[in-house]
Structure 1
Amino acid sequence: MSVTTTTHLNFRGEARAALDFYRSVFGGDLAVVTYQDAGGASDPDEGNQVMWGQVAAENGFRVMAYDVPARLPYDQGENSLFVSVRGEDTAEVTAYWEKLAEGANVVQPLGPSAWAPLYGMLKDRYGVVWVLDVVSGYDG
């Protein structure tokens, strides 16, 4: 038996745009079900918002997202989660970084660190904090 985990991000009306953006960064297929599609729109203004969405790429990248309905509390929070992307190829990780960095607030510029050949942290235009790094060998 195997188990996988997928980061599930919550938004207020920005889930589709965020998923489209992450697909443009990592590639893959986008699947979206709106509240209207599922017959679950309690507020007609929210009918086209995302009830369930996912980007799934062949390289293993997966992220899910939805729009929290207005009737429920929502607070984007501060440092409530980081999404970690770890790769073995410097060029691949750098390409992801460059795309995510558009419109982002860079917390730690992408570069060598004491624990990885390449490491960086940014808060993207949707308020999600991403940590990207290149795997290094551990010789403890």
Structure 2
Amino acid sequence: MKTVIEPYLFFRGRCEEAVEFYEKSLGAKRVMLMRFEEAPEQPPEGMLAEGWGKKVMHASIWIGETMVMMSDGCGEDDGAFDGFRLSIGTESEAEAKKFFDALSEGGRVEMPLGKTFWSPCYGMCTDKFGVGWMVNVPTENG
């Protein structure tokens, strides 16, 4: 088996909305979504915030060839996403623009799409959930 790193994102109560957003904006494919109330075993008493039974315990989606896992968490509020971004490589500038526009809608643009020394089309944005993205059209050299 080959070693892989897969991102696992926590959405503090907005996971199902995020899954739907990434399906619409990036063409993500839902693999599974399980709510806490559907789990074969319930979490230990006091671990889950009151009223979170219908929240998402675990979801998995494919974005291109990358599996992204996600959850609502257990009701804790650890603050915003910080210290990382997800990088998405596209096959064309048109696809990069489509993804960038969709991801930045309701979020913010830190670096508009444009030419850089490493890419004909690169930009950075943060989506409405606080997840940072780098959208890139890779060149033949990487």
- Do both share a fold (TM > 0.5)? yes
CA-based RMSD of the aligned residues comes to: 2.0
Could you tell which deviates more after superposition, 23-32 or 100-109? 23-32
Q: Which residue of structure 2 lines up, in the alignment, with residue 32 of structure 1?
A: 33
- Which residue identity is paired with 2:25? V
Deviation at 1:53, TM superposition (A): 0.6
Deviation at 1:6, TM superposition (A): 2.0
- State the Cα deviation string for residues 7-27 of structure 1 (Å, max 9, x = none): 111121011111110111222
Deviation at 1:73, TM superposition (A): 5.4
8 A Cα contact 2:22 2:28, kept in partner:
no
Deviation at 1:4, TM superposition (A): 3.0
Long gaps (5+) in structure 1: none
Q: Whole-Å Cα distance in 1 between the matches of residues 141 and 3 of structure 2? A: 25
Q: Which residue of structure 2 lines up, in the alignment, with residue 92 of structure 1?
A: 95
Match of 2:80 among 76, 82, 86: 76
Pair 1:73–1:96, CA change in 2 (3 A): closer
- Which residue identity is paired with 2:27? G
Residue pairs, 1:46-125, within 5 angstroms: 46-57=52-63, 59-70=64-75, 72=76, 74-77=78-81, 79-125=82-128
Q: Whole-Å Cα distance in 2 between the matches of residues 130 and 50 of structure 1? A: 23
Identity %: 27
8 A Cα contact 2:12 2:77, kept in partner:
no
Q: Secondary structure at the match of 1:138?
A: coil
